[in-house]
Amino acid sequence: MSPLVFLARPGRWLWAIHRHRATISAAPNFAYELCASKLDERELDGLDLSCWRLAYNGAEPVSPDTIERFAARLFSRGFNPVAMTPVYGLAESSVGLTFPPLGRGPLLDRVDRLALSRTGIALPARSDDTHAQRLVSCGRPLPGHVIRIVDVKGLELPDRAQGRVQFRGPSATSGYFRNPEATKRLLEGEWLNTGDLGYLVAAELYLTGREKDIIIRGGHNIHPQELEEAVNLVPGVRRGGVSVFPATDARTGTERLVVLAETREKVDLEEQGRIEAEINRLAVDLIGMPADDIVLAPPRTVLKTSSGKIRRAACRERYERGELLKAQRAPWRQWLRLAYTGVVAEVGRRGSHTLEWMWSAWAWTVFVAIVPFAWLLLVFSPALGLRRRIARASARLVLALTGLTPQVEGLSHLVGRGSLHPQGVRRIRNAAEATTTPLHPQGVRRIRNAAEATTTPLIVVANHASYLDALILAAVLPPRFAYVAKEELLRNPLAGIPLRRLASAFVERFDSARGLEDTRVLEARVRAGESLIFFPEGTFRREPGLLPFRLGAFVVAAHTGIPVLPVTLTGSRALLPDTTLWPHYSKLQVLAGAPLSAQGDDWQAVLQLHDGARRWILAQLGEVDAAG
């Protein structure tokens, strides 16, 4: 449908969906706003949008107010609010880059407006904060694509830290046609700059603005500089006193194009009309559309930096507050306020980055101080039980000293699976009460209940997202579990030697004959009373998503009749992503489900056990299913 046809009668779009029973249709945010606020009820009589399964909303900033108004207005016409699907893309990524999970609907994040503007940290707003800023999630990257947030120096930022949005993936462009300078600005190694600002939360992208003051209106990107230069040449306008910026319309939720121009002197109504007409003519010539608002103002209205650069964001802020034409402070007071605001913002940003850097440095200090010593103890301690207790104590100490003690839920499922005499159970629980190793209180209670109170074998299967997953499980599980690790780790003595000393099992992943033999060895160990930990994905990657599970753990469980305990780890991917050695603070969780038992020992029983465990882990993980 032609944009001109839509603008003339927005209802035609909705009736086209109704008539053709369309299931997918996309439009910019302003199109949804027009339909929500401009259509007469008579135009909607008989309209049925129940067929509309995906209402993509992109190409310009998505307004939370607009999507709510649209859903409320058309709910009675069969529109399902869950169909509203905010997305993000750009031409440099073949249009599409991030999409939310199918059928989830919009996800909004309420953040502290002041904290975001001053420090660049998207702190969750209090429930009673009436000035909270609401931002719409654009979803997660498509499979094979990765998004990261970096600061001005290119250093990767943790969740909820605002920065430059970069991406990479198979849909990324290799550069701009015959424009090497623009290509050089686009590429930073294997990463591409989007020109947008935003932050990540649980791999979901939230956009906060544009890196270079690009105005997005009606699905078009408008650069303000060219129009500013042209308006500066209009007779009656002060040279250097022009600012072009977008402003959010509080009524419609869309962006409006505003031209602020200082005049050389007071002008009468006739002269004012001439200047406005000339500015609109220039706007149509240069960007193909007139300005939404032209503000002619006295000298010194346009805010500037101390070096004379136009402060478009500050002009926009005063315009939206209705303070643009108020009496101006003396220049020295403006400079003083500007300097103060700049210092406060810079101190906040530097303080946040400094704290993050200090924590990362402290985490490395703890690791270097404890892990080599623990490695030596594992090598030279004579008894397996002692070595496993050393591993658990060391892991707990590392997590406690770095403030990473995980929240533990569900390990009470281990209680009651033992065959110890009740008096022995009481003695072990009493001994657990005397431990001084710090853990999250909830986890302490559950682990005290479960700690070593069982000799029945159990197979733990957990998702794999980081090098630290094994350390986290070592801290929260009783020290009777052996890891099942890939054989390649034996080539690395730093990992291979301690894993051997902890009686880990090593399996071949690529040789099917060897794999079958390794499975039989694992079955024998389980029948002998051992409990095992599997990471059935077999590997991990930087991008969020649960990879396909290998079947080895479930074959062993079905053939031996031993229950499988599904465990979900959250936060470890953000803590230490793949390909990086610099950690970022992240809250950790260890969530255990109810034990699952195979209904037989045949292939069908193996698959049912596999599907049940993976389904539970994926539901708690909150990431995409990367198995396709």
pLDDT (tens digit, 9 = 90+) per residue, 227-278?
887 898 899 998 778 999 888 776 666 678 899 999 977 788 888 999 999 9
Length of the chain (residues): 628
In angstroms, rounded to a whole number, what is the distance separating the alpha carbons of residues 192 and 208?
18
Confidence of residue 343 (pLDDT cuts 50, 70, 90): confident
Q: Which of the residue ranges 117-121, 503-507, 565-569, 616-620 would you say has the lowest mean pLDDT?
A: 117-121
CA quadruple 322, 327, 333, 334: dihedral positive or negative?
Answer: positive
pLDDT in the model for residue 386: 95
Percent of the chain with pLDDT over 90: 57
Q: Which among 413, 402, 537, 417 has a CA at the least distance from the CA of 472? A: 402
pLDDT in the model for residue 36: 92
In angstroms, rounded to a whole number, what is the distance separating the alpha carbons of residues 47 and 78?
8
pTM of the model: 0.58
Pairing mode, strands 98-99 and 108-111: unpaired
pLDDT in the model for residue 427: 42
pLDDT in the model for residue 425: 40
Q: Which among 49, 99, 97, 42 has a CA at the least distance from the CA of 70? A: 49
Q: Is the pLDDT of residue 419 over 60?
A: no
Q: How far is C-alpha 137 from the geometric centre of its chain's CA atoms? A: 9
Rounded to an integer, the average pLDDT of 380-394 is 95
Higher pLDDT, 418 or 244: 244
Q: Is the pLDDT of residue 86 over 70?
A: yes
CATH classification (class only), 215-328: alpha beta
pLDDT in the model for residue 241: 85
Q: Is the pLDDT of residue 513 over 50?
A: yes
Beta bridge partners of 109: 135
Q: Which among 391, 557, 553 has a CA at the least distance from the CA of 477? A: 391
Q: Which among 537, 523, 481 has a CA at the least distance from the CA of 504? A: 481
Residue 355, SS3 per DSSP: helix
pLDDT in the model for residue 82: 96
pLDDT in the model for residue 436: 43
For the chain, give every domain's residue range.
3-210, 215-328, 359-621
CATH classification (class only), 359-621: alpha beta
Q: Which among 136, 130, 140 has a CA at the least distance from the CA of 108? A: 136
Q: Which among 363, 388, 264, 435 has a CA at the least distance from the CA of 582? A: 363
Confidence of residue 443 (pLDDT cuts 50, 70, 90): very low
CATH topology of domain 3-210: Rossmann fold (3.40.50)
Question: Comparing 3-210 with 215-328, is the CATH topology the same?
Answer: no
Confidence of residue 307 (pLDDT cuts 50, 70, 90): very low
Beta bridge partners of 85: 56
Confidence of residue 332 (pLDDT cuts 50, 70, 90): low
Is the CB of residue 554 less than 8 Å from the CB of residue 601?
no
Q: Is the pLDDT of residue 91 over 50?
A: yes
Q: Is the pLDDT of residue 327 over 60?
A: no
In angstroms, rounded to a whole number, what is the distance separating the alpha carbons of residues 464 and 474?
14
Residue 16 CA: distances (Å) to CA of 21, 24, 27, 295, 310: 8, 12, 13, 39, 45
- The average confidence (pLDDT) of the chain is 85
pLDDT in the model for residue 247: 85
DSSP-assigned states of every residue in 564-616? EEEEEEESHHHHS-TT---------EEEE---B--SSSSHHHHHHHHHHHHHH
Q: Which of the residue ranges 20-34, 268-282, 453-467, 514-528 would you say has the lowest mean pLDDT?
A: 453-467
pLDDT in the model for residue 14: 96
Q: Is the pLDDT of residue 112 over 50?
A: yes
pLDDT in the model for residue 575: 93
Pairing mode, strands 459-462 and 564-570: parallel
Q: Which among 543, 526, 549 has a CA at the least distance from the CA of 607? A: 549
Q: Is the pLDDT of residue 525 over 70?
A: yes
pLDDT in the model for residue 502: 95
Confidence of residue 147 (pLDDT cuts 50, 70, 90): very high
pLDDT in the model for residue 6: 80
Confidence of residue 72 (pLDDT cuts 50, 70, 90): very high
DSSP-assigned states of every residue in 289-315? S--SEEEEE-TT-S-B-TTS-B-HHHH
Q: How many Cβ atoms from other residues are within 10 Å of residue 537's Cβ?
A: 22
Percent of the chain with pLDDT over 70: 86
Q: Which residue has the tokens 């281990």?
A: 414
Rounded to an integer, the average pLDDT of 112-119 is 81
Higher pLDDT, 323 or 437: 323
Q: What value, to the nearest 5°, has the Cα angle with vertex 49 and ends 44 and 52?
A: 150
CA atoms within 13 A on the CB side of 413: 19
Higher pLDDT, 64 or 512: 64
pLDDT (tens digit, 9 = 90+) per residue, 178-208?
888 999 999 999 999 999 999 999 899 999 8
